[in-house]
Amino acid sequence: MWEKEIYSIRMKVIHCIKDIPEQKLNWQPSQGKWSIAQNVLHLAGAETRFLTLALTAVKSPLKSDSASVDLSVFDDASIKLKAPIEPSDEPQTLVTLLAALDQSRQLTNNFLETYSKADLEGKYMNHQRFGIMPIWQVLELLGKHEQRHLHQMNQLKKEILS
């Protein structure tokens, strides 16, 4: 399911940012709150980290009796999560943001072109926040993470365009 859903979510992210005036992409609603540009850079960076972790784990997968990990923390916006890496606050252009999303998506495409769910059955990776998880679940992680930030960007967009 998530192998299809991640593409739909990404199209929603792109649709969200495409009609925002470029000078507003870098607007921060308050000190310590991310701009839309920072959210996009964070998504691209997270996708790169998630998929690099998964692709590395495929070469030396962990063995485990664990089931899938619970990623419902992404579903509740009231739960604040601290990002391990803060995105740059350097001004970005739409072209730069779209390129970052495209570049990170190449890793996901490579993963999906190379492996099937059956190929990775019983193979696990270690995620710094969620612990031992099935490698294939990286797609759910990616999708839920991106959905969460899409919601934040849509809220920001309303503020910007109102």
- For residue 20, the tally of other CB atoms under 10 A from its CB is 18
Cα radius of gyration rounded to whole Å, the chain: 16
- What is the C-alpha to C-alpha distance for residues 100 and 97, in angstroms, rounded to an integer? 5
Domains annotated on the chain, with CATH: 2-27+34-76+92-161 (1.20.120.450)
Whether pTM > 0.85 for this model: the answer is yes
- What is the C-alpha to C-alpha distance for residues 134 and 127, in angstroms, rounded to an integer? 10
pLDDT of residue 161: 86
Tell me the per-residue pLDDT of 99-147, one tens digit each, with 9 for 90 and over.
999 999 999 999 999 999 999 999 999 999 999 999 999 999 999 999 9
Residues 6+ apart with CB under 8 A from 128: 84
Tell me the per-residue pLDDT of 43-91, one tens digit each, with 9 for 90 and over.
999 999 999 999 999 999 888 877 899 999 998 888 888 888 889 989 9
76: which 2 tokens?
A: 């509740």
141: which 2 tokens?
A: 């992680």
Tell me the per-residue pLDDT of 10-54, one tens digit each, with 9 for 90 and over.
999 999 999 999 889 999 998 889 999 999 999 999 999 999 999
